[in-house]
Amino acid sequence: MQVVEANGARIPAIGLGTMTLKGDTCVEIVSAALGLGYRHLDTAQMYGNEAEVGQGLKASGIPRADVFLTTKVWHSNLAPADVERTFDESLRKLDLPFVDLLLIHWPNAAVPLADTVGALCRVAADGRARHVGVANFTAAMVEEAVRLATVPLVTNQIEVHPYIDQRRLIETCRRHGLSVTAYCPLARGGVPSDPVLQRIGAAHRKTASQVALRWLVQQGLVAIPRTGNVARLPENLAVFDFTLTDEEMGEIAALRRPDGRLVSPPHAPRWDT
């Protein structure tokens, strides 16, 4: 598995997103993915499936040390005492002594960022999280978080796919040594039917989805596609045996559009333009 290195972390370039996966389905998908070669799992307090992700990890038989596991603190739990309390709850649900990466899931303007980053750094210092980072942070928020942090931040998990322009934010992250983890990398079902991606895929005997994922990892980004279909797992992982040409990379980048953002809940920050 190709990895992305960022401020001391080695993050597998393709991970399994688990948002919306519940119950036995979540356990089955996680276990099957690890059996197929996935080594990166992404969950969150808000997903309500940390226990099932932990069960799937154990059911797979893959050694814990071989799996990079991420969870996230929900935006209503960002006061320092709440970070500590709810993260301990996450560890209990996962039935693990530590996670590889703990993220602030969404910023919360009502809680001083210095307080939240301080709590995040403390759980890194005591070993409960091997690495820490952020999600859904704008360029200015990344700059502030890096300034406040006493341990290196290793990623900003954001929406990235061919239809959204995140160039400025990606460059900001790279300038500070952060990786970028792309959620919704298949644009919530928009990618598979895209004629440009289908045409490029046909030239490589790949699907449109594989082309979109390859476009991300070829830029040095991490991608965490979600699927509830075991049959899709091998497809999403099989993106390391071909290379897109510079022309193809440019064609895909040209698909970006002003209305390309898919995720913008009421608690979202004011996005970069």
Going from the C-alpha of 250 to that of each of 60, 168, 192, 219, the distances in angstroms are 39, 17, 18, 12
What count of Cα atoms within 13 Å lies in the side-chain half-sphere of residue 73?
30
Q: Which residues pair with 29 in a beta bridge?
A: none
Beta-strand pair 3-6/9-12: antiparallel
How many whole angstroms separate alpha carbon 34 and alpha carbon 87?
A: 24
Choice among 38, 47, 163, 183 that is catalytic: 47
Catalytic site residue 47? yes
Cβ atoms of 48 and 21 closer than 8 Å: no
How many whole angstroms separate alpha carbon 201 and alpha carbon 208?
A: 5
Which residue bears the tokens 């071989």? 66
Cβ atoms of 267 and 75 closer than 8 Å: yes
Take residue 213 and report the two structure tokens written for it.
């994922």
Angle at Cα 73 formed by Cα 98 and Cα 81, nearest 5°?
85
Which residue bears the tokens 């993260």? 87
Q: Which residues are known catalytic residues?
A: 47
